[in-house]
């Protein structure tokens, strides 16, 4: 395999990895801070994709504006979902609802999927491309602008989010809530507000991913299944709730899948990925970077 | 400063507090003593807002706070240092302290508060970047106290700070509390170490089985027959 081929592989792997990292980050965040096993993450990705489609193809927004609009729409959707679904459940129950939280999110996924089908029908809503042309990185290695911009968006979102988490008081509060809720209350943190904003941020990240990928993966009601599975795969691989790890894991999985695709063909992607997951969990059930506790923590 | 009237509290169907009344005036150092399971921790948790009282009133600086969520009460100036400490284990000493000052916008005030607690606990100043989970038992207690203090609270509630500590460390914890008292901080202390608590503080309440059975000045209680036989082994 020559240098050009290797480079092409690396580029594709990184681009894919960036999107996986973005998605996994949102999922790890929800598990880490809210302790909710979120199985509707793919449907939030779908909300972003649909929003971008309507913004770009129907309302004529520019590509960047469409993606931003999708991000905002997902943020708001996440806020509404948290306030309408998780908040009342949290307040109304005695505390054991968390055990069933994943069922709640599965139900949410059903509602969103079928709602989308009821409103917009089952047909694909796709676009051919946001931007024309490709970047020529090297002779023989070119990257479509759409994919390049998607990558830049992923990295920018991840970096900004990381800075918020580590450098701002709000990020510190999020980490505090994930590590000790009683402690967070005692220092004056409003748990409900943190939970809402956390879910809204996670949704925004998923929505941005969906929007950025619209030209590659068109919007249709059940599109969320694959992004959801991939996100869960990454999060389980690195250890639930480990935010930093989920970013690294996203890239690892992206590169692994790309390499598998190149050498073994598309059909083997999932087989290899899942085999790796099974092997790793057999020997280290808490995940690659996990500690022995299963409860999520926003760790370093 | 702090006024508690006839509060009742329960965990599920188990009633633990049967009409507790106490008060702490500004600048006082008051203790709450009693056997295990008497309801001392429950009393503090109810005052701090972690539990809602079923009956009775809690007033802080004249305002009713019964039923308010714990984070609101904390922001009003009441700090509660729990028995479990409730530290943020994966964060550094410094980050724990910064969180103690959550909501303080005034940068100068924050800086001087941080300086104050780091002076009070030099061991913490040395280990600012160390993760809370890796500190020794005594250092963890200091960090919990420091975190409670960095917000410059009007009232400090402390639950059994001496538990599990070597005697030398117990002394230094009590010394720190005394220093705070001298500085004018209002303190309500729950302590198992009855003898020391009664000697150290001005006024005490004795809590047994969810009721206040005795109250008075530390020196008087030390002479009380019931206290002597039940708690001091005399």
Q: Which two tokens stand for residue B60?
A: 């802080």
Residue B59's region, left for phi above 0, alpha for psi from -120 to 50, else beta, is beta
The stretch A253-261 carries a mean pLDDT of: 91
Taking 90 as the threshold, does the pLDDT of residue A286 lie above it? no
Give the count of alpha carbons within 13 A of B154, CB side only. Answer: 15
If asked whether residues B223 and B117 sit together in one domain, one would say: no
In this structure, the answer to whether residues B89 and B141 fall within a common structural domain is: yes
Q: Are residues B70 and B108 in the same domain?
A: no
Are B118 and B167 in the same domain?
no
| B221 shares its domain with B182 | yes
Q: Which pLDDT does position A300 carry in this prediction?
A: 42
Co-location of B125 and B177 in the same domain? no
Taking the CA of residue A26 and the nearest CA in chain B, the distance in Å comes to 20
Q: How many CB atoms lie within 10 A of CB A274?
A: 12
Q: Does any CB of chain B come closer than 8 Å to the CB of residue A272? A: no
**Domain span including residue B147:** 85-152
Q: In terms of CA atoms, which chain B residue is nearest residue A172?
A: B99
User: For an interface test with A, which of B50, B79, B86 has the most A Cβ atoms less than 10 Å from its Cβ?
Assistant: B86
A139: pLDDT strictly greater than 80 = no
pLDDT at A297 over 60: no
Cβ <8 Å between A187 and B50: no
Handedness of CA A259, A260, A265, A267 (dihedral sign): negative
Residue in chain B closest to A299 (alpha carbons) equals B90
Q: Which of B152, B180, B195 is the last residue of a domain?
A: B152
Q: Can you list the domains of chain A with their CATH numbers? A: 3-122+138-283 (1.10.3470)
Chain B CB within 8 Å of residue A190 CB: yes
Q: For chain B, how many structural domains are there in total?
A: 2
Check residue A295 and give its pLDDT: 52
pTM for the model stands at: 0.90
Residues B159 and B52 in one domain: yes
Sheet strand arrangement including B63-64: B14-24, B2-11, B55-60, B63-64
pLDDT at B231: 81
For residue B164, pLDDT beyond 70:
yes
Q: Which of B152, B177, B209 represents a domain boundary (last residue)? A: B152
User: Is A147 part of the contact surface with chain B (CB cutoff 8 Å)?
Assistant: no
Q: Based on the domain organization, do B177 and B210 belong to the same domain?
A: yes
CATH number of B6's domain: 3.40.50.300
Quick one: pLDDT at residue A292? 56
Interface test with B, best of A187, A193, A194 (most B CBs within 10 A): A187
For B120-155, the pLDDT digits (tens) are: 889 899 999 999 999 998 899 999 999 999 999 999
Quote ipTM for the complex: 0.92
Please identify, among B130, B152, B174, the residue that sits at the C-terminal boundary of a domain.
B152
What's the CA gap between B5 and A186, in Å, rounded? Answer: 23
Nearest CB to A180; choose among B71, B87, B103: B87
Residue A32 tokens, joined: 């880490």
Same domain, B134 and B176: no
With cut-offs at 50, 70 and 90, classify the pLDDT of residue A153. Answer: very high
Q: Which residues in chain B touch residue A187, judged by CB atoms under 8 angstroms apart?
A: 71, 74, 99-100, 102, 147, 151
Distance CA B55, CA B18 (A): 9
The closest of B189, B215, B153 to B30, measured between CA atoms, is B189
Shared-domain flag, residues B28 and B143: no
For every residue of B121-160, which 3-state class applies, written as one string?
CHHHHHCCCCEHHHCCHHHHHHHHHHHHHCCCCCEEEEEC
Per-residue pLDDT for A93 more than 80? no
Residues B202-225: tens digit of each pLDDT: 899 999 999 999 899 888 888 888
Residues B227 and B133 in one domain: no
- Residue B20 and residue B72 in one domain: yes
């Amino acid at each position: 395999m020559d240098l050009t081929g290797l480079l092409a592989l690396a580029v594709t792997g990184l681009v894919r990895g960036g999107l996986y990292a973005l998605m996994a980050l949102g999922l790890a965040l929800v598990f880490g801070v809210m302790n909710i096993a979120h199985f509707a993450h793919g449907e939030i990705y779908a909300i972003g994709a649909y929003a971008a489609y309507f913004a770009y193809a129907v309302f004529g927004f520019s590509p960047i504006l469409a993606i931003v609009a999708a991000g905002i729409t997902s943020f708001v959707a996440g806020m509404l979902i948290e306030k309408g679904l998780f908040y009342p459940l949290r307040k109304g129950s005695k505390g054991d609802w968390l055990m069933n939280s994943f069922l709640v999110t599965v139900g949410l996924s059903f509602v969103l999927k079928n709602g989308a089908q009821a409103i917009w029908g089952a047909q694909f809503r796709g676009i051919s491309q946001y931007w024309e042309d490709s970047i020529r990185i090297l002779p023989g290695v070119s990257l479509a602008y759409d994919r390049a911009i998607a990558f830049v968006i992923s990295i920018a979102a991840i970096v900004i989010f990381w800075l918020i988490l580590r450098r701002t008081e709000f990020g510190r509060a999020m980490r505090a809530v994930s590590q000790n809720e009683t402690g967070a209350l005692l220092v004056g943190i409003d748990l409900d507000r943190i939970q809402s904003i956390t879910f809204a941020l996670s949704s925004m990240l998923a929505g941005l991913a969906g929007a950025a990928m619209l030209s590659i993966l068109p919007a249709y009601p059940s599109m969320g299944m694959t992004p959801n599975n991939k996100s869960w795969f990454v999060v389980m691989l690195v250890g639930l709730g480990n935010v930093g790890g989920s970013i690294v894991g996203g890239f690892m999985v992206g590169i692994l899948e790309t390499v598998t695709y190149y050498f073994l063909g598309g059909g083997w992607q999932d087989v290899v990925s899942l085999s790796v997951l099974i092997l790793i969990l057999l020997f280290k059930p808490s995940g690659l970077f996990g500690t022995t506790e299963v409860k999520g923590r926003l760790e370093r | 400063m702090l006024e508690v009237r006839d509060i009742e509290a329960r965990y599920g169907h188990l009633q633990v507090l049967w009409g507790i009344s106490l008060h702490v005036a500004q600048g006082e150092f008051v203790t709450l003593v009693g056997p295990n399971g008497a309801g001392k921790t429950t009393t503090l948790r109810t005052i701090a807002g972690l539990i809602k009282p079923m009956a009775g009133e809690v007033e802080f600086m004249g305002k009713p706070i019964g039923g308010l969520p714990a984070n609101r009460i904390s922001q009003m100036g009441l700090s509660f240092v729990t028995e479990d400490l409730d530290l943020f284990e994966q964060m550094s000493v410094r980050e724990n302290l910064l969180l103690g000052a959550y909501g303080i916008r005034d940068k100068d005030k924050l800086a001087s508060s941080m300086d104050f607690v780091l002076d009070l606990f030099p061991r913490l100043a040395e280990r600012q970047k160390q993760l809370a989970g890796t500190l020794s038992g005594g250092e963890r207690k200091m960090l919990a106290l420091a975190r409670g203090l960095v917000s410059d609270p009007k009232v400090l509630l402390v639950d059994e700070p001496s538990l599990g500590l070597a005697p030398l460390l117990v002394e230094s914890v009590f010394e720190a509390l005394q220093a705070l008292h001298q500085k004018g901080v209002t303190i309500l202390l729950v302590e198992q170490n009855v003898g020391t608590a009664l000697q150290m503080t001005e006024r005490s309440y004795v809590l047994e089985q969810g009721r206040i059975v005795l109250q008075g000045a530390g020196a008087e209680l030390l002479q009380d027959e019931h206290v002597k036989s039940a708690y001091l082994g005399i």
